[in-house]
Structure 1
Amino acid sequence: MNNSPTTLFDSYEQDFQQFIETIRPKLEGNAEEPAEIQGIPQSIRAQYQSRLRTAKADLARYKKLFKDSQAQVARSDLFSSKAGGFSSSDDPYSDNSDRSRLLAGTSLLEDGSKRLQESHRIALETEDQGAEILMNLRTQREQIENSRNTLYTADSAIDRASGTLKKMIRRMYQQRLVTAAIITVLVLLIGVIVWEKFS
């Protein structure tokens, strides 16, 4: 089995490409997150934007670390080729730091992808909660508007009832005056009749 740095690097690169193909749909899905973040209510949007920026910064850092590991392996391969193409040691992993860095970069990249997925999930949950809150607020607004219309109707009814009461009170006073006038006339008539009878 050929254990040269070039063969080992090709093997690592093949493993990495398989890993990238596995997480590519998830990475592409994360490109839509800013639009989804816009759907989050303003009161809580800032904290999720901050978390999204942190996750993206982590992913960029992990990608840079992996590229640095690739460059380091390439340099080691170049130096090994100049020295004779193979390591002087019988151990195929004598330059263990290169493999460790490459594996660490792959692990960190996977961790960054998981963080982005988690941020995506939280953003979607928050969007659902925000939509539910907006729906509740819309329902409450409709209830308030209905209550306001009811109050307007009640106020109009009270105004009409007040006008009716005023008319009734006015008629009552008029009837009292008419009754008092009739009584006065009757008393005068009785007085006249009595006076004529005894005169």
Structure 2
Amino acid sequence: MDNSPTALFESYEQDFQQIVDSLKQKLEGDVKDERAEQRKADMRRVEMELDEADEMISQMEIEIQGIPQSMKPHYQTRLRTAKADLSRYKKLSNEVRGQLARSDLLSSRGGAGPPTSDEPYGSTSDRTRLLSGAALLEDGSRRLQESQRIALETEDQGADILMSLRQQREQIENSRDTLHRADGSIDRASGTLKKMIRRMYQQRVVTAIIIVVLVLLIAVIVWEKLS
């Protein structure tokens, strides 16, 4: 698993790009060529995808706060580009909705013909709505699975971070214990040195006393011989 500080940002950016590709297909291609009912269904999906894209942008803004300063400018540029793409497709969505509204107005003025025996429901709009609903459900399920996958990955990353923090805490505690033991050893070594120095001075004093006694004995012996 990628535990780099930019992994989640790039994951959200990838999801955002998938949504943008879907928006591009619907707004710049299919929507202009399909029937009215299908276009309405696609525009409902466009609104859902725009909301999801907004959510991805919000997540990217959150994740960019944890990116190191040395890397942040590059990802800030990518975030601004994503925001610009989202604004462009929001504007395009509004334009397409306006076109659909004008088309509906013109259609309502023109009226509608009676149903035929081949089409007992008057048109294929019901089947189109059912297909659109099934597509929406499928897309929603896929988005839900993707959200669950991201949640599981986030949970795994959180567990890894907790494990790493626990290991670091154990290392700090071991280092603290080592320092305490080293401090105790230093205190004992210092006490030993002090005892050795004190004994050395005691030995010097004893040696000096012995020398003085010997000098006095020699002086006494010499004085007795001379006298």
Is residue 180 from structure 1 mapped to residue 164 from structure 2 by the alignment?
A: no
Is residue 167 from structure 1 mapped to residue 200 from structure 2 by the alignment?
A: no
Q: Give 1:48 deviation, angstroms.
A: 9.5
Q: What letter matches 1:60 in structure 2? A: R
Pick one of 157, 178, 181 that aligns with 1:133.
Answer: 157
Q: What letter matches 2:167 in structure 1? A: Q
For 2:15 and 2:132, locate their aligned partners in 1 and report how far apart those are by CA, in whole Å: 22
Q: What does residue 144 of structure 2 align with?
A: 120
Compute the RMSD of aligned alpha carbons: 4.0
For 2:211 and 2:42, locate their aligned partners in 1 and report how far apart those are by CA, in whole Å: 109
Q: Give 1:122 deviation, angstroms.
A: 1.1
Q: Percent identity?
A: 6
Q: Give 1:92 deviation, angstroms.
A: 2.5
Pick one of 171, 179, 191 that aligns with 1:147.
Answer: 171
Structure whose CA Rg is larger = 1
Q: Give 1:103 deviation, angstroms.
A: 3.6
Q: What does residue 60 of structure 1 align with?
A: 44
SS in 2 for 1:166: helix
Q: Give 1:179 deviation, angstroms.
A: 0.8
Q: TM-score, normalised by structure 2?
A: 0.47
Cα distance change of structure 1 residues 118 and 148 upon mapping to structure 2, 3 Å threshold:
same
For 2:42 and 2:15, locate their aligned partners in 1 and report how far apart those are by CA, in whole Å: 14
Q: Give 1:111 deviation, angstroms.
A: 2.0
For 1:198 and 1:58, locate their aligned partners in 2 and report how far apart those are by CA, in whole Å: 130
Give CA-to-partner distance per residue, 1:5-55, whole Å, 9 cap, x none.
xxxxxxxxxxxxxxxxxxxxxxxxxxxxxxxxxxxxxx5596699689x99
Q: What letter matches 1:92 in structure 2? A: D
**Structure 1: runs of 5+ lacking an equivalent:** 1-42, 81-85
Count of aligned residue pairs for this structure pair: 137
Q: Give 1:121 deviation, angstroms.
A: 0.8
Q: Give 1:60 deviation, angstroms.
A: 3.3
SS in 1 for 2:158: helix
For 1:150 and 1:61, locate their aligned partners in 2 and report how far apart those are by CA, in whole Å: 57
For 1:124 and 1:188, locate their aligned partners in 2 and report how far apart those are by CA, in whole Å: 95
